[in-house]
A and B are shown apart, each in its own frame.
Chain A
Amino acid sequence: MPPVLLPLSAVADTIRDGLLASQVAVLAYFVVMNGFLLTLLGAAALELKAQRRAAALESRWRLLGSAVAPRISVVAPAYNEALTVTESLRSLLTMSYPNLELVVVNDGSTDDTMAVLHRDFALRGLHPVYHHVLDHQPIGALYRSETAPNLVVVDKRNGGKADALNAGLNVATGDLVCAIDADTVIEPEALLRMVRPFLLHSDTVAAGGTIRVANGSRVERGRVVEARAPRQLVAGMQAVEYLRAFLTGRLGWNRLGGNLIISGAFGLFRRDAVLASGGYVHDTVGEDMELVAHLRRRAYEQGGPGRVEFVPDPVAWTEVPDSLRVLGRQRDRWHRGLADVLRRHGGMAFRRRYGSLGFVAYPYFLLVELLGPVVEVLGLVGLGLGLAVGALNGSFAILFFLVAYGLGLLLTLATIALEQFTYRGYGRGRDTLVLVGWALLEPFGYRQLTVLWRLRGIWRFLRGRSDWGVMTRKGFATKGA
């Protein structure tokens, strides 16, 4: 039987219809996605109001003298941090908390990190007795500072961040452990605020605080002494992204089924729960998200504490990449981490046993966070093709673009408004206007770049790449220190 040949015009019509249909699907996806994000924003606004009311006139200073305050161990992995480690640790040691231990894990540094620690903190050898619950590279020695007795230094063979955190978890003696990055600047009262969910709810297993972008702010001796919105383009865009991710995203999740992410740069965990769940996984680049997903999944499967809360007022400051190349590597890695965690915990999706985690949080992270870039690029390609074959006219394409990105812009501006009406983390009104400027620019170029980086992350994940990539930072070291 001879093949049936369609006339050329019929093929063109089919392509045109297909392109139009794909555009409708993409637009519908954008509307649903942004609708959910607006719901998150609403939930965040309600949560913010409740949290601020709860914190008003709260007597945190009473906790400072309390004999029943839970012991917190801050675990800070350090790799080749000789230049900044002293300043970072001095800042951490002056944090306001009554029962605080600081565990620094030197992860096989090849520079003078250990020599600097010996010199500046008068380390003396400690009985190397600790309960080896989690696996990690061998520990060479344990030290305690003679000048700051609550500082413990672990000197171990190099094994990466997750490995160092696991060693720190084994050695730590706190009921709660605060995992931080060595270059994170934490505000002095942050732990007093972050411990709140653990005192309010016995089933709290993890709590996260806000991360703000420190580029552009004045940092002296491990403290942000003058907070400023970044003036540099790449850092400025990230300041807006961080604000949106923390103030709207994570705060909103408190009311919509609980968080799945606690930032690796600043999170507080119940140590017994982390030890029982096996600690940080070594073979992933998304070890912080994996830990939270594991803790929550375990709570559903075996019972026990499983509440994960985001608290907006404890703040840690971080230096973000100010070059597109480094930022691209970071986003690629984050997306590979997300893909890996969702693959590992795929069994939770749409299972009644996992409640809101399986029906709301997991699908959101899969469909919006992971696959969002795929849909977005399909939409942009379809838009271009539609224009090329004449299926769409120019004004329709512009309207389509404005609708799709306008919702995102609205969401970002509403988040900045929330920030302005509440915490004003960047201080002056002028800085809020700077953030508004970055928000208005974000949809034009930057957003599309992040889509490409995330797509690259998916591609590299599918090809089995699990490297971290080289991250370069300028550091906060005080001049002349």
Chain B
Amino acid sequence: MIPREALVWAVLLEAVLVALVLLAIGGDVLRGAVLSPRRSRRLAAARERLAMALADGADPESVAAALRGLRRRESLSILAEYAPLLAGADRTVLTHAAAAAGLTADAVRRVGSRRLGRRLEGARVLTVVGGGESVMPALLDDRSSRVRSQASAWAMDHPSDHVIARLVDHATDLRPASRFSVQDALIRMGPAAVPALREALDRAEGQDAERLLAVCVALADRAFGPAALRLLQDPSPAVRVLAAPLVARTAADEGAEQLLALLEDPSDAVRAAACEALGVAQHWPAGGALRRALRDDAWEVRHAAAVALERLGPPGTLLLKRALDDDALVARDMARRMLELPTGGLA
């Protein structure tokens, strides 16, 4: 059956491997016990020097000196700790200090690498410490979505016309990782990004329009009004869903009639979005139509209509009270719930 020798060899092999793993664990624990306190002291001292250098008028040379004697990874980890806490002149000092310490030049070299891991690391370093204006914009068009995503995070602090134009182009990126960063960067740029976004939204349709609208709704600038009105007629329900709140925030007066028309839209989500938009716009003449929407077949629409009526203030509350006598049970139920009256049995 099983040769005894085979079992002996198997046990020996396992014993050797177990011993090797134990040695590796023990060695690492020992190394940590010896080196870790020293490393911790070194890092603590560097942090203190850096904090003092920043407090003492923040001379880049003294900040760079605080990092001397540290390994590259250690310097980066300390800068990454400080970077989110600094802004304006102090952040600029950090950027100059990183350049003086050679970290920026090293990152720029990495950004030019053909290897994805190195490009990504270079981009991350430049995002943390700043700099790299000559190489980073090109990464916005990198073949890797993760590198593009990182470049977008960098671009947030570097809002030039060229960078904004590239970001707007990539706001419709198919890869979610990159798209999220681009949308986030554009929203954080705020008014600086509005002209380019408006231009793109003016000619966008379908899925591209949907992705641009996600940014424009967050910025809610009046410049988007005309495009939002046009997109209320887009064949894609997802676009109409996003265009409705943008109209409510940027072109409520001109778009009220179109929003009212959307209450007859075949898509549940669009009808719900239209109700919500009319509530946000506080367009009280829509009260009657919103009360009728309380009878809608879709729960989302009835709920959005009830919330919108509540937003209209006293006239909306009056309509909700009238809906308590509505012929439709679902309308009565939603009104009861919104007015915090006992329910009529429907959940």
Residues of A within 8 A of B (CB): 20-21, 23-24, 27, 53-54, 56-59, 61-62, 65-68, 125, 127-129, 131-132, 138, 199-202, 395-396, 399-400, 402-403, 406-407, 409-410, 413-414, 416-417, 420-421, 429-430, 432-433, 436
Q: With A403-B11, A429-B32, A432-B25 given, is the CB distance from A127 to B127 under 8 Å? A: no
B187 within 8 A of partner (CB): yes
B29 A420 Cβ-Cβ under 8 A? yes
- Measured between alpha carbons, how far is A433 from B33 in the docked complex, in Å? 12
Q: Which of B247-255, B283-291, B322-330, B332-340 contacts A (4 or more CB under 8 A)?
A: B332-340
Measured CB to CB, the closest approach of chain A to B258, in angstroms, equals 26
B261 within 8 A of partner (CB): no
Within 8 A of A (CB), among B140-195: 146, 153, 156, 176-177, 180, 183-184, 187-188
The 8 A-B residue pairs with the shortest CB-CB distance, nearest first, are: A429-B29, A406-B14, A132-B347, A399-B7, A57-B124, A413-B21, A200-B177, A202-B176
- Measured between alpha carbons, how far is A352 from B275 in the docked complex, in Å? 46
Contact with A along B30-54 (1 / 0, CB 8 A): 1011000000000000000000000
Q: With A54-B146, A410-B14, A413-B25 given, is the CB distance from A127 to B125 under 8 Å? A: no
B337 A406 Cβ-Cβ under 8 A? no
B337 A127 Cβ-Cβ under 8 A? yes
- A65 contacts across to B, CB distance below 8 A: 188
Q: Which of B89-97, B236-244, B298-306 contacts A (4 or more CB under 8 A)?
A: B298-306
- A416 contacts across to B, CB distance below 8 A: 25
Instruction: Look across to chain A and name the residue whose beta carbon is closest to the beta carbon of B156.
Output: A62
B10 within 8 A of partner (CB): yes
Main SS of chain A's interface residues?
helix
Contact of B21 among A23, A199, A410, A430 (CB under 8 A): A410
B177 A199 Cβ-Cβ under 8 A? yes
Contact with A along B182-217 (1 / 0, CB 8 A): 011001100000000000000000000000001100
Instruction: Look across to chain A and name the residue whose beta carbon is closest to the beta carbon of B31.
Output: A429
B340 A127 Cβ-Cβ under 8 A? yes
Instruction: Look across to chain A and name the residue whose beta carbon is closest to the beta carbon of B17.
Output: A410
B29 A67 Cβ-Cβ under 8 A? no
- B29 contacts across to A, CB distance below 8 A: 420, 429-430, 432-433
- A407 contacts across to B, CB distance below 8 A: 14
- A138 contacts across to B, CB distance below 8 A: 347
- Measured between alpha carbons, how far is A33 from B193 in the docked complex, in Å? 57
B55 within 8 A of partner (CB): no
Q: With A57-B76, A417-B21 given, is the CB distance from A403 to B7 under 8 Å? A: yes
B86 within 8 A of partner (CB): no
Instruction: Look across to chain B and name the residue whose beta carbon is closest to the beta carbon of A139.
Output: B347
A131 B299 Cβ-Cβ under 8 A? yes
- Measured between alpha carbons, how far is A67 from B220 in the docked complex, in Å? 12
A-B contact pairs, 11 of them (CB 8 A): A67-B184, A68-B183, A127-B337, A128-B337, A399-B7, A400-B7, A413-B25, A414-B21, A429-B28, A433-B25, A436-B22
- A421 contacts across to B, CB distance below 8 A: 28
- A410 contacts across to B, CB distance below 8 A: 14, 17-18, 21
A59 B153 Cβ-Cβ under 8 A? yes
Measured CB to CB, the closest approach of chain A to B67, in angstroms, equals 16
B117 A53 Cβ-Cβ under 8 A? yes
A68 B7 Cβ-Cβ under 8 A? no
Within 8 A of A (CB), among B114-149: 117, 121, 124-125, 127-128, 146
Instruction: Look across to chain B and name the residue whose beta carbon is closest to the beta carbon of A432.
Output: B29
B87 within 8 A of partner (CB): no
- Measured between alpha carbons, how far is A132 from B330 in the docked complex, in Å? 13
Identify which of A54, A62, A409 gathers the most chain B CB atoms within 10 Å of its CB. Answer: A62
B187 A67 Cβ-Cβ under 8 A? yes
B280 within 8 A of partner (CB): no
- A53 contacts across to B, CB distance below 8 A: 117
Instruction: Look across to chain B and name the residue whose beta carbon is closest to the beta carbon of A62.
Output: B153
B218 A67 Cβ-Cβ under 8 A? yes
- Measured between alpha carbons, how far is A399 from B188 in the docked complex, in Å? 66
B11 A68 Cβ-Cβ under 8 A? no
A396 B176 Cβ-Cβ under 8 A? no
B80 within 8 A of partner (CB): yes
Interface residues on chain B, number (Cβ under 8 Å): 53
Instruction: Look across to chain A and name the residue whose beta carbon is closest to the beta carbon of B346.
Output: A132
B30 A429 Cβ-Cβ under 8 A? yes
Q: With A57-B124, A68-B187 given, is the CB distance from A406 to B4 under 8 Å? A: no
- Measured between alpha carbons, how far is A67 from B21 in the docked complex, in Å? 47
Instruction: Look across to chain B and name the residue whose beta carbon is closest to the beta carbon of A27.
Output: B2
Measured CB to CB, the closest approach of chain A to B222, in angstroms, equals 18
B18 A409 Cβ-Cβ under 8 A? yes
- Using A127-B337, A396-B7, A409-B14 as known contacts, list a sample of 6 further A-B pairs with CB atoms less than 8 Å apart, ordered by residue number in A: A65-B188, A66-B187, A125-B340, A200-B146, A201-B176, A432-B29
- B30 contacts across to A, CB distance below 8 A: 429
- B21 contacts across to A, CB distance below 8 A: 410, 413-414, 417
Measured CB to CB, the closest approach of chain B to A198, in angstroms, equals 8
Measured CB to CB, the closest approach of chain B to A101, in angstroms, equals 17
- B8 contacts across to A, CB distance below 8 A: 399
Instruction: Look across to chain B and name the residue whose beta carbon is closest to the beta carbon of A430.
Output: B29
- Measured between alpha carbons, how far is A430 from B337 in the docked complex, in Å? 59
- B334 contacts across to A, CB distance below 8 A: 129
Identify which of A23, A68, A410 gathers the most chain B CB atoms within 10 Å of its CB. Answer: A68
Measured CB to CB, the closest approach of chain B to A141, in angstroms, equals 10
- B176 contacts across to A, CB distance below 8 A: 199-202
Instruction: Look across to chain B and name the residue whose beta carbon is closest to the beta carbon of A133.
Output: B299
- B32 contacts across to A, CB distance below 8 A: 429
A24 B1 Cβ-Cβ under 8 A? yes
- Measured between alpha carbons, how far is A443 from B188 in the docked complex, in Å? 56
Contact of A56 among B121, B215, B218 (CB under 8 A): B121
B80 A57 Cβ-Cβ under 8 A? yes
B2 A24 Cβ-Cβ under 8 A? yes
Measured CB to CB, the closest approach of chain A to B32, in angstroms, equals 5
- Measured between alpha carbons, how far is A382 from B8 in the docked complex, in Å? 20
B338 A127 Cβ-Cβ under 8 A? yes
B15 within 8 A of partner (CB): yes
Measured CB to CB, the closest approach of chain A to B127, in angstroms, equals 6
A21 B1 Cβ-Cβ under 8 A? yes
Measured CB to CB, the closest approach of chain A to B17, in angstroms, equals 5
Instruction: Look across to chain B and name the residue whose beta carbon is closest to the beta carbon of A393.
Output: B4
B214 A68 Cβ-Cβ under 8 A? yes
B303 A399 Cβ-Cβ under 8 A? no
Contact with A along B212-235 (1 / 0, CB 8 A): 001100100000000000000000
Instruction: Look across to chain B and name the residue whose beta carbon is closest to the beta carbon of A391.
Output: B1
- Measured between alpha carbons, how far is A74 from B127 in the docked complex, in Å? 31
- B18 contacts across to A, CB distance below 8 A: 406, 409-410, 413
Q: With A54-B146, A132-B347 given, is the CB distance from A402 to B14 under 8 Å? A: yes
Instruction: Look across to chain A and name the residue whose beta carbon is closest to the beta carbon of B188.
Output: A65
- A67 contacts across to B, CB distance below 8 A: 184, 187, 218
Measured CB to CB, the closest approach of chain B to A51, in angstroms, equals 13
B125 A57 Cβ-Cβ under 8 A? yes
- B303 contacts across to A, CB distance below 8 A: 129, 131
B88 within 8 A of partner (CB): no
- A59 contacts across to B, CB distance below 8 A: 84, 124, 127-128, 153
